[in-house]
Copies of this chain bind each other. A is one copy, B any other.
Amino acid sequence: MAEEHRTKQVIRAAARRLFAEHGYNAVSMRDIAQAIGKQPGGIYNHFPTKQSILVDLMQENLTRAHAAVIDPINRSAAPEQQLEAFVRGHVQYHIDNPDDIFIAYMELRSLDPENATQIMAERDRYEVALRAILSAGLRDGGFKLSDPAIHARSILSMLGGVTVWFRETGPQSPSDVAECYVQAALQSVAVPYTAKHER
């Protein structure tokens, strides 16, 4: 990967923080310029439009999330273990990248139509990966669920909430939080009245 200009990275960092805190529409190019100690016009040497900054941040986030959560999952392991790995990685990524996650959830509607289509297509790849795990568990009898698509969205919705309140809580460590969600996710698809699987 080519080394990118330092100023561009500084702009990214400032925009990420400001977009997450105030929302894309509430942040002006002047705000970003002030945050990095430069003049507003200079930003256009690195990004052609304000919208392009948002698209850049969202694309980079999706690429990193897929690499951090989906790619490491052992696709030949049992579905229960795959789901546990997914939940753990997902929660950890959310905790490690709260601003990117917040932007991803909140600013889809701030994208121009063509950009929104592209970002949502990339986003779908993430949900498809979870759905594949649930479908595998449904086929081999390890999971009990009515519809993999519904449960995939239910789990993602539940997991998505972690960034809403994690910063507000005090003594819970990231692994505590991940443990709580792993339990909830596995239970939500668990087969009742069966012996616990061996570990």
Q: Which residues of A contact B (CB under 8 A)?
A: 21-23, 25-26, 106, 109-110, 146, 149-150, 153-154, 156-158, 160-162, 164-165, 169, 172, 180-181, 183-184, 187-188, 190-191, 193-194, 196-197, 199
Contact = CB atoms under 8 A, between A and B. Distances in A.
Given A106-B106, A161-B161, A154 B22 contact: no
Contacts of A25: 23, 25-26
Contact of A157 (B110, B165, B190, B197): B165
Contacts of A196: 194, 199
Nearest to A171: B147
Nearest to A188: B184
Contacts of A197: 199
A17 to B, nearest CB: 14
26 contacts: A21-B109, A22-B109, A23-B23, A23-B25, A23-B110, A25-B26, A26-B110, A146-B180, A149-B169, A150-B172, A153-B164, A153-B169, A154-B184, A157-B157, A157-B158, A157-B162, A157-B165, A158-B158, A158-B161, A160-B164, A183-B193, A184-B187, A184-B188, A187-B190, A187-B191, A190-B191
B153 A165 contact: yes
Given A26-B110, A110-B26, A199-B196, A150 B169 contact: yes
Contacts of A26: 25, 109-110
A196 B146 CA distance: 21
A11 B41 CA distance: 38
A157 B150 contact: no
- Which of A25, A149, A157 is the most central at the interface, judged by chain B CB atoms within 10 Å of its CB? A157
A150 B110 CA distance: 32
A12 to B, nearest CB: 21
